[in-house]
Structure 1
Amino acid sequence: MTTPRTVLVVGGGAAGNAVTVLLRRAGVTVDLIEARPDWNATTGSGITLQGNALRVLRDLGVLDQVESSGRAFGSLGVVAPDGTVLHEAEDIRTGGDDLPATLGMQRPRLQQILIDAVRASGAGVRLGTTAEALDQDADGVSARFSDGTTARYDLVIAADGLNSATRAAIGITAKPEPTGMAIWRTTAPRPAGLVRTDLAYGGPAYIAGYCPTSEHTIYAYVVEACRDRASIDPARYADEMRRLARGYGGHWAEITPHITDPAKVNYTWFDRLLVEGSWHRGRVVLIGDAAHCCPPTLAQGAAMSLEDASVLVELLTAGRDWDDDLLQRYYERRIPRVRAVVEASVQLGQWQLDGVRDADVPGLIGRTMTMLKELP
């Protein structure tokens, strides 16, 4: 059988961009469609990338740009709400000793780096476009797009995020479920001396933390019990986050005065999703948040999505038929690792929701991150 060579990627986030670049490098013809006309190039505040995420970004050929745009660090601080340092732990190098343990950067900058890599790969890109229908047969998938055009592909990779329309369209009924927590995020100038992530547990919220994203910037976040989003006026987002942040000391004394623009504050619920059984139906396969999502308590969401792209492309380019067996092998290779991350991420939050004071938080984090040192 001739190896199929045409792929449609639905969604231009981290997973979709990564899988596109890797497939193009292998000589596969790829079209990428993204619903947002701006390709999400200006969305978000910051992102924490651990070594296993950086390992995939190195494979994509963009690590130098990522490192020069962000700020790497190698430890995590646990602080009291007043800013007193209680514990400092060395981060586990999940990407190997030749990569930073952790790197923070501005999320729009990471997206732009990946966009540039997709453009340079020669993939076909169509923005402001969705797949209105995917009709499968034994040989491939016929796609009809929102602009009325059609095209034929050997495989469709659904990377269209947590609320994936493609997931629902192929009959997978799993949906994200809220965990009971929500997060306020914003950007701010970097205070002198802020060189790593510090987390404060307790105080006015469950968690207050920050991460350096460049020499001059950070992103800061506060985690609380989720509220009805309709009850919060977006014009008051900065007021709400600033009210919570005022209860924290240390570097927060310099961060809080910069929380003034509601347009720069983001409020989202924590969600959990793990599609079980398989991540494909026929010749349509899910990757990234379309297949799994977890709270950012381990900062592993982007890493899991990037690893999906890497593993799937490795299998697709190994000379095997692109059939059910191959796509099921992809699922079986990914599910133990992803399940461990999702369950640990949810558990860390649930212990706080339940008020468990003797939880083995360091042990759970250590076991999970040590597992992630193994290649996916």
Structure 2
Amino acid sequence: MTAVRSVGIVGTGFAGAAAAILLAEAGVQVELFDAKEDVGALGSGITIQGNACRALVRLGVWDEVQRRSYPFEELGLRAPDPQGTVIAVLPDVKTGGPDLPATIGMYRPDLARILVERAEAVGARIRWGARVEGLVQQGDEVELTWHDADGLHREHFDLVIGADGLHSTVRALLGIDVQPRRNGMGIWRAFVPRPAEVTRTDLVYGGPSYIAGYCPTSEDHIYAYLVEDAQDRSTLSPAEQVATMRRLAESYHGPWDEIRESLGDDSRVNYTWFTEHLIDGPWNRGRVVVIGDAAHSCPPTIAQGAAMSLEDALVLAELLIDADAIDDALWQRFTERRLPRARTIVEASKQLANWLLAHDRDADVPGLMHRVTAVVGLPA
């Protein structure tokens, strides 16, 4: 017997959809609430490492993900010179095990849609356009209040999961005073046709940007990105965004010459600031818990954000399914399994970003990455 019969999940992102899949498969009544009107996801692409691939296998979506992604086993480093010279090709660590790719690239909205459709297929109900406004815990129940086009509604659940992202409403309703902090970097991303020679992620450190990189997402497309000092880019028109990214890319060559020329109105150029935060203690308050970006975030310098969100959901669902009751012992097990691992990723991502900000040429990046892969190579 599982510890819950009904669960409300706020947010349909990676963490929320993953938790919904596993709980619904176990026979739990699951309802997801999202203020958005549909599954649309911000961003152009996403880099997914082996431990996240392992989670996608468990969620029953791996076959579809394989059809919609691009696998690779190496990481390239290029120089910021006129030729875009390859200076090193490093084997990626297969953190998901020998039978899975070391890394895949994918169009981020495709992954979001695959997970949501899987959640619906196994029985989860999704309420789009539902804005959560209140949580009241009463004994063994949580009353969740939300508002949609039809007015105000209330429903009771055995448990509520807040998987509603960086600026989590659930986190605020719980009174957890932890907010994402900007770290001083901003990133331009674009979705463009794949140059024939791009078969892996290549990174360039140096030049006018901290990082110039790209990741193949399919046979036909890649996403390209440039990391700069964070600036207010909110006043730029779409055409000005494209022009700005083109200008920053002028210092990078090799495949960047073709990438730069392909940037246009259909490139879905977007700009965001890097953030970091961690709830450094239990992520629950009674029968309400936050996971994923609601609980932690970090600069995407080691490409583990999605993996950590998926792992949060898998561990929480496993504990709820195997337990007979929601009690302090359950929450202690959850904290012990997730907090140290999340802390390792957040701190490592911050450290790498700080080294870049400080232009530290003596930074022990290989040592840091070895420590990270040693952790994420173990099942969550």
TM-score, reference length from structure 1: 0.97
Aligned equivalents of 2:321 and 2:4: distance in 1? Answer: 10
Deviates more, 1:192-201 or 1:234-243: 234-243
Question: Does residue 171 of the first structure (1) align with residue 213 of the second (2)?
Answer: no
Aligned equivalents of 2:350 and 2:105: distance in 1? Answer: 22
User: Deviations along 1:220-262, whole A, 9 cap, x unmatched?
Assistant: 0000110124454554111111110111011001100121228
Q: Which residue of 1 aligns with 2:99?
A: 98
SS of 2:209's equivalent?
A: coil
User: Deviations along 1:310-329, whole A, 9 cap, x unmatched?
Assistant: 00011101133112331232
Q: Considering only aligned residues, what root-mean-square deviation do their CA atoms show, in Å? A: 1.4
Aligned equivalents of 1:337 and 1:296: distance in 2? Answer: 16
**What stretches of structure 1 of length at least 5 have no aligned partner?**
none
User: Deviations along 1:31-88, whole A, 9 cap, x unmatched?
Assistant: 01111002225x3200111010011100011101101110000010111013111111
Aligned equivalents of 1:229 and 1:283: distance in 2? Answer: 40
Contact 2:2–2:323 under 8 Å retained in 1? no
Contact 1:6–1:154 under 8 Å retained in 2? yes
Aligned equivalents of 2:57 and 2:295: distance in 1? Answer: 24
Question: Does residue 273 of the first structure (1) align with residue 277 of the second (2)?
Answer: yes
Q: How many equivalent pairs are there?
A: 375
SS of 1:223's equivalent?
A: strand
SS of 1:146's equivalent?
A: strand
Which aligned pairs between 1:213-232 and structure 2 lie closer than 5 A? 213-230=217-234, 232=236
User: Deviations along 1:319-369, whole A, 9 cap, x unmatched?
Assistant: 331123312321221111111111111111110111211111122112211
Q: Which residue of 1 aligns with 2:166?
A: 162
1:75 corresponds to which letter in structure 2? E
Aligned equivalents of 1:228 and 1:193: distance in 2? Answer: 34
Question: Does residue 137 of the first structure (1) align with residue 143 of the second (2)?
Answer: no
Q: Which residue of 1 aligns with 2:3?
A: 3
Question: Does residue 373 of the first structure (1) align with residue 374 of the second (2)?
Answer: no
Which runs of 4 or more aligned residues in structure 1 lie more than 3 Å from their structure 2 counterparts after TM superposition?
229-235
Contact 2:3–2:322 under 8 Å retained in 1? no
Question: Does residue 204 of the first structure (1) align with residue 208 of the second (2)?
Answer: yes
- Identify the match of residue 288 of structure 1 among 282, 292, 311: 292
Indicate the percent of aligned positions where both proteins have the same amino acid: 54
SS of 1:182's equivalent?
A: strand
TM-superposed CA distance for 1:109, in Å, is 1.0
Q: Which residue of 1 aligns with 2:115?
A: 114
- Identify the match of residue 302 of structure 1 among 306, 315, 323: 306
Deviates more, 1:112-121 or 1:209-218: 112-121
Question: Does residue 188 of the first structure (1) align with residue 192 of the second (2)?
Answer: yes
TM-superposed CA distance for 1:152, in Å, is 0.5
Q: Which residue of 1 aligns with 2:55?
A: 56
Aligned equivalents of 1:320 and 1:250: distance in 2? Answer: 58
Contact 2:48–2:307 under 8 Å retained in 1? yes
TM-superposed CA distance for 1:263, in Å, is 7.1
TM-superposed CA distance for 1:204, in Å, is 1.4
Deviates more, 1:45-54 or 1:108-117: 108-117
SS of 1:168's equivalent?
A: helix
SS of 1:66's equivalent?
A: helix
2:91 corresponds to which letter in structure 1? E
Contact 1:320–1:326 under 8 Å retained in 2? no
Q: Which residue of 1 aligns with 2:73?
A: 74
Aligned equivalents of 1:301 and 1:160: distance in 2? Answer: 14
Contact 1:15–1:287 under 8 Å retained in 2? yes
Contact 2:25–2:123 under 8 Å retained in 1? no
Distance 1:234 1:275, change over 3 A: farther
Aligned equivalents of 1:67 and 1:266: distance in 2? Answer: 26
SS of 2:51's equivalent?
A: helix
2:167 corresponds to which letter in structure 1? N
Contact 1:163–1:290 under 8 Å retained in 2? yes
Aligned equivalents of 2:257 and 2:140: distance in 1? Answer: 61
